[in-house]
Amino acid sequence: MDVDTCIRENIIWQKLPEDIRVLLGNSQREYDKLVLEYSIKNQLRYKGNLVRHVKKSEETYYDMIIKYSESHLMLYPYHLADIIVKELRITPFNYYINIITDMIQSEKSYDSLPNFTAADAVRLLGIGRNQYIDLMNQNSGIVANLTFQVLTEDERRVVDSILDEGPQPAGFLPVPVVQSLLNRGLIYVDVPVEEFDYVYVAPLDGFVMNRVLGDYFETLLYKIFVAIDDQTTVKEMADMLHIDFSLVANAISVFCRLGFAKKRVTGMETARLHYSWAQLVSIPNSPTQDDLVTSVSGDLGELSASLASPLGDDDDEEQAANLSNYSLKDSVS
């Protein structure tokens, strides 16, 4: 057992193995320091983890996570969105705007973006490699102008509805309004993953290799991805990998969000969607085992660097159809 394992398992100082205490020079202060560093680096939730005994201010702790994650170009912490969006008012849209703006101002290469971060940023902002180069050649202030404009009547109605009634399936709302509010960061998407969900890997096309961080979270994402098959529930997968279910569910949620994986059954198959989804949504058949083997056996480097087209490009229909299954939550209440 090492120090990181002790922190993951929420072992307090008083119950640490003797050899770990010796390794830390019998200093509880040193252990507390490592707890805070590990928790921030791995984007751990405040409640239910050791860090709550080390950092007294929950808001300060989450602010430290955001600053660290932005500076290290990490994937937006979707598993903490209920806190990050509600309390800190930082949506995925705002988060990636900050990252891209800082990169441009620091004159960093687009290749410095880690794979999953690049895929998510282009999905939300529409800024891929070519667009980034164009921005570098123009003015960094252009990125900051991707801000809110006056809401239309339909947009205001949807925001009010979510504020008053709570989360709603995206498929029940007008497509153009959903796309506009998402792009402007006024709502965000929740992609729930349950114990008995079955997921499969979607066809992976058009990948461009980018950078791999190799940190704990990214390594975990790869480990879980290669274990996906449509004959195993998410809970069974977690047990098989000996990984906490919540971590596996968070990873699967990210894959579904990026379009790398899909649920076999979404619960929306018989729902009456808003008419604007009619030309976008089709219920796909679950892939055959041969399809799954083919899709997973490809180069993982290709998957990791996928820069899925944002809504509004050639892959509009597939991504919009996927979005219809998920729940919209407000980011302005």
The answer to whether 286 and 200 are in contact (CB under 8 A) is yes
The answer to whether 328 and 170 are in contact (CB under 8 A) is yes
Distance CA 228, CA 231 (A): 9
Residue 24 tokens read as 């830390």
Mean per-residue pLDDT over the chain, rounded: 79
The CB density around residue 317, as the number of other CB atoms within 10 Å, is 13
Residue whose tokens read 């059954």: 265
What sign for the dihedral angle of Cα 238, 231, 221, 252? negative
Distance CA 283, CA 300 (A): 27
The model's pLDDT over 35-49, given as tens digits with 9 standing for 90+, comes to 999 999 999 999 999
Q: What is the pLDDT of residue 307?
A: 31
Q: What is the pLDDT of residue 241?
A: 92
Q: What is the pLDDT of residue 106?
A: 87
What sign for the dihedral angle of Cα 236, 239, 241, 243? positive
**Eight-class DSSP state of 198:** B
Partners of 233 in the β-ladder: 198
Q: What is the pLDDT of residue 86?
A: 79
Q: Are strands 168-169 and 261-263 parallel, antiparallel or unpaired?
A: unpaired
Per-10-residue mean pLDDT of the chain, 333 residues long, equals 90 92 93 95 92 93 96 92 85 90 89 88 85 78 53 85 84 87 76 91 60 70 87 93 90 87 81 82 49 37 36 45 57 46
**Eight-class DSSP state of 233:** B
Distance set, CA 185 to CA 75, 90, 125, 293, 331 (Å): 16, 9, 10, 37, 7
Q: Which residues contact 270 (CB under 8 A, 6 or more apart)?
A: none
Which of 223, 241, 222 shows the shortest CA–CA distance to 232? 241
How large is the greatest C-alpha to C-alpha distance in the chain, in angstroms? 65
Residue whose tokens read 């968070």: 250
Q: What is the pLDDT of residue 34?
A: 95
Q: Which residues contact 39 (CB under 8 A, 6 or more apart)?
A: 7, 49, 50, 51, 54, 61
